[in-house]
Structure 1
């Protein structure tokens, strides 16, 4: 017998069956309780399993629950991870035109010191340096694709002065050099209008992340203009306009939630137009000051059910099957260009001097801080005993490279994502089984 049982099989008990899930192949097999009692035993005696149920055995092999004896699953995962991190010419560059914002949300500018607003903006010199860098990637580094990811601060504060100048240049360079070009933006969406949305469409903006902080009443208590007017209606209206004027756009509607927000989720769903539903994936993010309790988890599960009934999609962002990396920022060809030309690895950390991984030069070439980069990529986040023994590794891949580096520098433990996950693995697998029409 040249076969063995995969180390990444997980049993999930549902109402009337067992869902056998393989975290590496991302396959699900529903099996009745009665049948599974026999199969569970036969998995310890594969020759007998193959002899008694040859068709089922082949189905198990095809789906990755049973594998060839010589196949080293962990080595395969490590190889795929290295390919995702290093072996490609796809560049994703986050650009901060400013760290300033036209709104002053309490959870950003007051309690999160790393996000305090800086009123400086990107200079023309830095804009020129970025354009030179993009030309360098397209012509010298043979970039296959370039994605510009606008962040801040509120990047749309300087749409004409910064975003348009770099976007126009990049689009032309990409076209001349057969480079795929797309753009992403994280914005509060208050500075949008029809003309600007049309310009963004023409500049290859294909992905937006926009945040709401609850229904209209709750949101307006948190996000408001300087004259205290609420922003909710403007944001929702602009979301609907984006979906109307940009074909095939994708919007992640991030909902920062506490307990009260989750109780009123239906109010938000009712305000989004029917046409916009096809564009939107809802992403719940717990306000970091709020503890994850059992009551929160139950409300979150109900909110996800309401979302599905209303025709929206929602993601299980903790679970990332077959991506083989924790975060897009883990890629060696991902980095952040701050408004002043300093290069960083992550937008979820402050922009302190100790975190500078490079300086953008006038030539467009980055003077890399190889010492710091070497430490960040010294080891992959999952290369530790706990992660390597975990049967959830393929859908997790450990913490991101930044958290792994922080744990090593500050002598802390490598954080386990699932210890604080709002969604249980069983909820995820059951949801996926329903989505694939494997169960009702």
Structure 2
């Protein structure tokens, strides 16, 4: 479980740490009030272990969530099951999404949504979009954001028909009144939160990291949490993170630069002195730049003018 808490910091809690969360939130909220800071707890979860009691306990903290679906009910349940009963988790997750949207409100400092529904898609998953939208009927759409991310094992295996499916899925979600993002879509002021100086991932053992997209190995930690709650950073590692992610010819000539901001610092560090094209996001995109911009424009126009787009 991941808990986003305090000023651009992650605290990673082991799966057995559910009894830690509530006391931690109580303490964090008290400290934030004392120091005039906003607290925005952010849970990255599959929601299978969330229940009504937990939701009720969390309401006063105004948390936000990222919850993953792997398709419609049949497809999701083929990969996500209860270990105890061997039954699928889809209906429970949908129920919890609806409950969270009903009971959780935006807190101070939260200008975004309450729930990001991340759909890990392959070409089969895209056929389930209408079913997922139907199952969420009645939800407060202002509290929900859909993020579509291709399953990494299928990246680079996209044909014309699959591009069509993705475009239709994005437009369909937007036509139903939801905000939706995919790949490079969406405004961001940095390539990744890891580029923010005050951002830190605090592991359960007190080790500090910057990238949550990699295995948190002790030998790759970038600092440690001290007893006085300050962070002692590895200065050499910190300098590597302070690079500008887009100051290269490839990025500066790219039409997508204002939305992309270049590869993240983690990829640049790993890429070393190799060509930047090796880690360019467009290398792994399902559409070319022209298609990205066109779809993004259509979605923005739908939001601005509330124009429906039917794919029934």
TM range (shorter): 0.7 to 0.9
Cα drift, residue 209 of structure 1: 0.3
Q: After the TM superposition, which residues 156-305 of structure 1 pair with which residues of structure 2 at under 5 Å, given as runs?
A: 157-160=16-19, 162-205=20-63, 207-226=64-83, 227-248=85-106, 250-292=114-156, 293=158, 294-305=160-171
Asked if structure 2 preserves the Cα contact closer than 8 Å seen for 1:257 and 1:287, the reply is yes
Cα drift, residue 331 of structure 1: 0.6
CA radius of gyration, larger in: 1
Which is further off, 209-218 or 249-258? 249-258
Identify the residue that residue 280 of structure 2 maps to in structure 1.
416
Asked if structure 2 preserves the Cα contact closer than 8 Å seen for 1:382 and 1:388, the reply is yes
Cα drift, residue 291 of structure 1: 3.0
> 1:431 & 1:199 partners in 2: Cα distance?
36
Identify the residue that residue 231 of structure 2 maps to in structure 1.
366
Matched position secondary structure for 1:302: helix
Cα drift, residue 223 of structure 1: 0.5
> 1:309 & 1:435 partners in 2: Cα distance?
8
Asked if structure 2 preserves the Cα contact closer than 8 Å seen for 1:336 and 1:343, the reply is yes
Match of 1:431 among 270, 293, 299: 299
Identify the residue that residue 314 of structure 1 maps to in structure 2.
180
Matched position secondary structure for 1:324: coil
> 1:198 & 1:422 partners in 2: Cα distance?
40
Per-residue CA deviation, residues 166-225 of structure 1 (Å, 9 max, x unaligned), is: 2111111111222122111101111112221121111231x1100011111110110111
Sort the Cα spacing of 1:258 and 1:367 in 2 relative to 1 into closer, same or farther, 3 A.
same
> 2:181 & 2:147 partners in 1: Cα distance?
6
Indicate whether 1:339 and 2:255 are aligned.
no
Show structure 1 runs of 5+ residues with no match: 1-89, 101-156
Matched position secondary structure for 2:161: helix
Q: Tell me the C-alpha RMSD between the 2 structures.
A: 2.2
Identify the residue that residue 40 of structure 1 maps to in structure 2.
none
Show structure 2 runs of 5+ residues with no match: 1-5, 107-112
Identify the residue that residue 109 of structure 2 maps to in structure 1.
none
- Structure 2 length normalisation: TM-score? 0.85
- Structure 1 length normalisation: TM-score? 0.62
Matched position secondary structure for 2:205: coil
Per-residue CA deviation, residues 376-395 of structure 1 (Å, 9 max, x unaligned), is: 32x21101121123233222
Asked if structure 2 preserves the Cα contact closer than 8 Å seen for 1:188 and 1:235, the reply is yes
